[in-house]
């Protein structure tokens, strides 16, 4: 079986056919799903979905870096984490992190500082409640590593949709972080050169659905049923059986998220 460790089943994109999407994924061998929050509403919805699909859907709760300018209330995430009824449904904090992509070419030190504070606050929550983190990092690896270095000890977690270079991969490995690989590995030449260097022991499969639809379905809404396409592409890049990808990534997901 496969586990999709990052799929936005809590988004409105699936409101009309969510049950069918889950059913089609199961038919494709994708049997469990980690659904992250990006704001107040999606975090709450992720927990509700995990309650409705116990043992199949697992929630993460957090604030995406793009929420930073809206001054999100991190205490809301803590409320969800310490709720006794939620404990078995929430497996991680996130997605949280840094994203400087929209700031390229601009002076944005203040906004970057706000993102970093929001990220650090959520890392602290994850440590307090002994949860791994789902880290979003885009064009911000240097600052991401700097924020992590300020902590008493590095977090357990995954670099969602890993987009760094070999040096970033090396530093992430030293911290013990997993690397999430998504459908863009089927069309990104840069990723095709990096992914073979990720140790199988640190690899996770993600769709980031409804985004990053893999070849040959680009242009369509992404779904977790496409996880086997991602696994197959990685296997070909590494010249190993796809069964090895399935086994390693499922074991890694269970180990990190305790599912």
Report how far residue 122's alpha carbon sits from residue 3's, in angstroms, rounded to the nearest whole number: 24
Would you call the peptide bond into 216 cis, given omega within 30 degrees of 0 as the criterion? yes
Q: Do the strands 157-160 and 30-35 form a parallel or antiparallel pair, or are they unpaired?
A: unpaired
pLDDT (average), residues 25-53: 98
Q: Where are the domains of the chain?
A: 3-257
Per CATH, the architecture of 3-257 is what? Alpha-Beta Barrel (3.20)
pLDDT digits (tens, 9 = 90+) for 190-212: 999 999 999 999 999 999 999 99
- Between helix 109-128 and helix 74-82 the angle, nearest 10°, is 10
Give me the sheet containing 57-61, strands edge to edge.
2-4, 30-35, 57-61, 90-99, 133-138, 157-160, 178-181, 203-205
Q: 98 and 116 in contact (C-beta within 8 Å)?
A: yes
Instruction: Give me the phi and psi of 21, to 5 degrees please.
Output: -60, -45
Nearest CA to 233 among 171, 183, 193? 183
- How would residue 101 be classed by pLDDT, with cut points 50, 70 and 90? confident
User: Per-residue pLDDT for 104 more than 60?
Assistant: no
Query: Which letter does DSSP use for residue 11 in this model?
Result: S
For residue 222 the two structure tokens come to 């992404």
Report how far residue 65's alpha carbon sits from residue 75's, in angstroms, rounded to the nearest whole number: 16
- How would residue 87 be classed by pLDDT, with cut points 50, 70 and 90? confident
Report how far residue 41's alpha carbon sits from residue 28's, in angstroms, rounded to the nearest whole number: 29
pTM reported for the whole predicted model: 0.96
């Amino acid at each position: 079986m496969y586990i999709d460790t990052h799929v936005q089943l809590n988004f409105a994109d699936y409101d009309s056919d969510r049950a069918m999407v889950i059913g089609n994924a199961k038919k494709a061998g994708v049997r469990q799903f980690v659904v992250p929050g990006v704001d107040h509403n999606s975090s709450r919805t992720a927990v509700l979905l995990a309650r409705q699909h116990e043992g199949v859907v697992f929630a993460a709760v957090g604030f995406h870096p793009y929420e930073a300018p809206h001054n999100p209330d991190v205490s809301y995430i803590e409320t969800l984490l310490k709720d006794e009824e939620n404990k078995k449904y929430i497996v991680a904090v996130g997605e949280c992190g840094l994203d400087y992509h929209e700031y390229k070419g601009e002076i944005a030190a203040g906004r970057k500082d706000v993102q970093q504070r929001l990220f650090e606050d959520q890392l602290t929550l994850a440590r307090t409640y002994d949860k791994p983190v789902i880290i979003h990092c885009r064009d911000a690896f240097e600052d991401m590593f700097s924020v992590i270095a300020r902590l008493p000890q590095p977090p357990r977690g995954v670099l969602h949709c890993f987009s760094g270079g070999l040096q970033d991969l090396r530093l992430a490995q030293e911290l013990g972080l997993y690397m999430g690989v998504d459908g863009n590995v089927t069309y990104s030449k840069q990723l095709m050169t990096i992914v073979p260097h990720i140790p199988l022991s640190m690899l996770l499969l993600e769709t980031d659905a409804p985004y990053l639809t893999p070849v040959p379905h680009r242009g369509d809404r992404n779904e977790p049923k496409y996880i086997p396409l991602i696994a197959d592409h990685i296997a070909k890049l590494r010249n190993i059986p796809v069964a090895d990808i399935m086994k390693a990534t499922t074991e890694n997901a269970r180990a990190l998220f305790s599912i």
